């Protein structure tokens, strides 16, 4: 099991605010599937619409903005 930090990113102020950690529990290698880890982080840490989250997992930095697309449900892209 490996732990990665989850940050809220404010691009206007160019700052990152740590919101928590996420524990990778997969037994197999994740490979290029970092998007699944980003979606899990967004759901676990209750990220609001319009906010951007960032994770640092094994030296790979990935970020995602939360938005609504065609409907009222939150989509994690």
pLDDT digits (tens, 9 = 90+) for 9-49: 988 888 999 998 888 777 676 666 778 888 888 888 888 88
Decide: pTM greater than 0.75. Answer: no
pLDDT surpassing 70 at residue 77: no
Element (H, E) at 39: helix 34-44
**What is the structure's pLDDT at 1?**
73
DSSP classification of residue 64: E
DSSP classification of residue 48: P
**What is the structure's pLDDT at 39?**
83
* Contact (Cβ atoms closer than 8 angstroms) between residue 7 and residue 53: yes
Domain boundaries, the chain: 2-76
């Amino acid at each position: 099991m490996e732990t990665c930090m989850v940050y809220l990113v404010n691009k206007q102020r160019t700052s990152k605010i740590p919101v928590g950690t996420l524990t990778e529990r997969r037994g197999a290698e994740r490979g290029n599937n970092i998007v699944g880890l980003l979606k899990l982080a967004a759901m676990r840490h209750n990220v609001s619409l319009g906010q951007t989250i960032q994770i640092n997992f094994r030296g790979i930095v990935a970020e995602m903005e939360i938005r609504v697309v065609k409907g009222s449900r939150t989509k994690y892209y």
